[in-house]
Structure 1
């Protein structure tokens, strides 16, 4: 059963997959860097590591990681986004599920991921009140010592919706899930975090 409608679904109507994919195709054609998330993940775990792309959308990050030699699974609740991912990389595992109730075992996926990545403002776009549950679900999917990497906006400049989550709140949810903050960056290029409106946080189980 899916949870209450997420902020993403309220924003897009759950039918934005093709438009979202087209935007990144256009950026790539303009020689914009569209692989910063995958590049950072590749500095944190070695090729061959198991990666869970939480809120994978159209699969942009996971597909790039697979090209770099990683073993990955993508999960998202937006069917329109997953349709694009499955079309572009049918050989990968794509699961439709709500992150607040995601159980890899019932989905036929082995737990013990080396890294979970939540890119693209996943946490601020969840259904309100589910952030702690999602952090706990993702933490349980990790092996001991595994990493949760999440990047999201903190102000109106970096979010398509009004801000709803502070770093303090996010860290508290991660702490309650048994995760410890190890690094925080201002970008997916690992620039030092200076208190700005976007942060990439790395927590370890």
Structure 2
């Protein structure tokens, strides 16, 4: 069981979607992740939303002209995603052994995005396996973009993954760091409790 399932009991899809709908209704920006991804690869690119949850990022990217698929282990989150965008591909799978071909999806994604604290909420000890699986899903030259909290202020669980750890897992998976930001608006990272990292295969 991953830390997300321990935190939510695996039934939080409707609550999670409602929270973001409320933020959007208040006029808050809820599409920073998709906007950053759109600066990294052109429309028409294939995107894998890893730990897609309710599909917020992938749905927005699809509206911007991107093709792609979403994968998550939480059935309640995927149920919301499938209702919101039944035309997109949604796969229930564990990221640590995710194989696009086994799921009926062609590999060779241009970009994989892991938003929403995906890596800190994995089952402890599976981070390297997930980095490797996501690297294999990329085409040569493709990008892995992951944003996550590094301290208690930015996480719903005690922090357990450092940037050094994450970079090491990515390096083992054949990925090279190309950019690091403090926010999804691409503010420069100068330390702090949240980071968005871009690695290239």
Superposition TM-score, scaled by structure 1 size: 0.98
Structure 1 runs of 4+ aligned residues shifted over 2 Å read none
Give the aligned partner of residue 68 of structure 1: 64
Give the aligned partner of residue 182 of structure 1: 178
Give the aligned partner of residue 24 of structure 1: 20
- Which blocks of at least 5 consecutive residues in structure 1 are unaligned? none
Give the aligned partner of residue 130 of structure 1: 126
Residues 61-109 of structure 1: per-residue CA shift (max 9 Å, x gap): 0000000000010000000000000000000000000000100011110
Distance in 1, matches of 2:95 and 2:17, equals 21
How do 1:24-173 and structure 2 match up within 5 A?
24-173=20-169
CA deviation after TM superposition for structure 1 residue 57, in Å: 0.1
Distance in 2, matches of 1:104 and 1:115, equals 14
Distance in 2, matches of 1:123 and 1:56, equals 12
Distance in 2, matches of 1:27 and 1:124, equals 23
SS of equivalent to 1:26? helix
SS of equivalent to 1:140? helix
- Which blocks of at least 5 consecutive residues in structure 2 are unaligned? none
Residues 10-69 of structure 1: per-residue CA shift (max 9 Å, x gap): 000000000000000000000000000000000000000000000000000000000000
- How many residue pairs get aligned? The number is 201
Cα RMSD over matched residues?
Answer: 0.2
Distance in 2, matches of 1:77 and 1:156, equals 24
Distance in 2, matches of 1:105 and 1:25, equals 33
